[in-house]
Amino acid sequence: MQAILEALGELDRTYHQDSLAEYEKTWQRVDQQVQQTLPGFTIAYVEIYTAGSDREPLGSMHHVLLPQ
């Protein structure tokens, strides 16, 4: 599981720092890793909000795992 969390962080960095082609290659590699390790999950790019009644946006986007 730690390897997948690190790979999602790598996707975040690649999205902001590298070319679209490099991001696509990284995404395909991470997606394959997710499918092998956690079948039934997919990668999503989402805006993060705080928990609770306020639900304030934190202003950050991250790659996360989402059940299909």
Domain locations in the chain as residue ranges: 2-67
**Average confidence score pLDDT of the chain:** 90
- Name the band, by pLDDT with cuts 50, 70 and 90, for residue 27: very high
- Name the band, by pLDDT with cuts 50, 70 and 90, for residue 48: confident
Handedness of CA 16, 21, 25, 27 (dihedral sign): positive
Mean pLDDT throughout 15-44? 95
At residue 23, does pLDDT exceed 70? yes
- Name the band, by pLDDT with cuts 50, 70 and 90, for residue 57: low
CB–CB of 4/11 below 8 Å? Answer: no
